Structure formats: structure tokens, C-alpha cells
Amino acid sequence: LFLGLFIATYYTFKIAGNGHEGIVDKDYYEKGLNYEKEIKQKSELKKLGYRLDSKVLQKEESLYIGENTLNVNFNRDGQAVEKAKLSWTLERGATNRYNTSSTFTEKEKGNYTSQLNIPAGGQWILNIKAEVEGKEMVESLFFYADKKSLSQ
């Protein structure tokens, strides 16, 4: 019995040590100090009337495991915004192993598109960032990715 507990404890520590990813962000303290300032900066464009509209952000469309197409409309007071820099970041809350990011391309005035690959099912966080006039805004979506059924 004692030997079995010893072996189980050994393997528990071995698995925990092999799966440890270390510190996710080395500048966490400095970022925490500037948290309020960063939130204010990321909401400046919203105050100026800028909006990121997407069926995914409004949860009218779902994201699934595998390839997905993201379509986003970027506008200011209903007028399309051209030549803005839009990007996305996909991350898992519990690990940084699957973190990916990419940029959008403008396919028509104010309409941006990008491909997004979700490697596994489960909880995900999608951040869509828009930059224009030296300012930025971020919209976040917390979602659960699953396999796409044949009826969808």
C-alpha cells in the first residue's frame, strides 16, 4: 500500500512538472499598474462613435473547431471606416499553448475578413482589435467551440 502511494505521488509530480508552462507574462505587474489607463485608451474610439459589428460578436453566428471565416464591419456613426488596422487574438484562458493571432484584410469599404483556425473544442477568448488615428479599441468574445454538426 505504501509503495503504491509513493509511486502514484511520484507520477503526479512528474506529470505536473512536465506540463508546467512557467510565467505566462513577465510584465504582469507593470501592466497591472497601467490597467485603468489601458482600459480608458481602449474605449476612446467607442466614445468617438466607432463600432465593430460582426455576427460572431453578436452571437448570431457560432465558431467551430477547424477553419472559420471572420467578417467584421468597422464604422463610425454608421459610416464605413477604410484602411484601418484590424487584428484578432485567439486564446485559451487556462493556457497560452494555443494562443494565435492574425490580421484582417479589407475586402470592401469598411468590411474586413480573416481566417481563424480553432484547434480544439472548449472555452476560448477571441479579441478583435481595431486601430485608427493612433487609437485602438478591443471587442472580446468568450465562447465555447464544438464540432460543426451536419445540419449546420
- pLDDT digit string (tens) for 18-45? 766 665 566 666 667 777 777 777 778 8
Tell me if residue 7 falls in helix, strand or coil.
helix
Tell me if residue 132 falls in helix, strand or coil.
strand
pTM: 0.76
Whole-angstrom distance between the N-terminal and C-terminal Cα of the chain? Answer: 53
Neighbouring residues of 48: CB distance < 8 A, sequence distance ≥ 6: 76, 135
CB-count burial class (<10 Å; 0-12, 13-18, 19+) for 150: exposed
Which residues are 67's β-sheet partners? 117
Interval 88-113 mean pLDDT: 92
Tell me if residue 36 falls in helix, strand or coil.
helix
Range in 32-41, 106-115, 136-145 the model is least confident about: 32-41
Give the angle 36-41-44 at the CA atoms, nearest 5°. 125
Q: What is the residue-averaged pLDDT of the chain? A: 86
Query: Is 150's pLDDT higher than 60?
Result: no
Q: 83: phi > 0 → left, psi -120 to 50 → alpha, else beta; which? A: left
- Which one has a higher pLDDT value, 143 or 17? 143
CA 125 to chain centroid, in Å, comes to 4
Question: 115: pLDDT confidence band, cut at 50, 70 and 90?
Answer: very high
The domain ranges of the chain are: 51-152
Q: Which long-range contacts (CB under 8 A, 24 or more apart) does 56-62 make?
A: 56/126, 56/141, 57/128, 57/139, 57/141, 59/141, 59/143, 62/143, 62/152
**What CATH number does the domain located at 51-152 have?**
2.60.40.1930
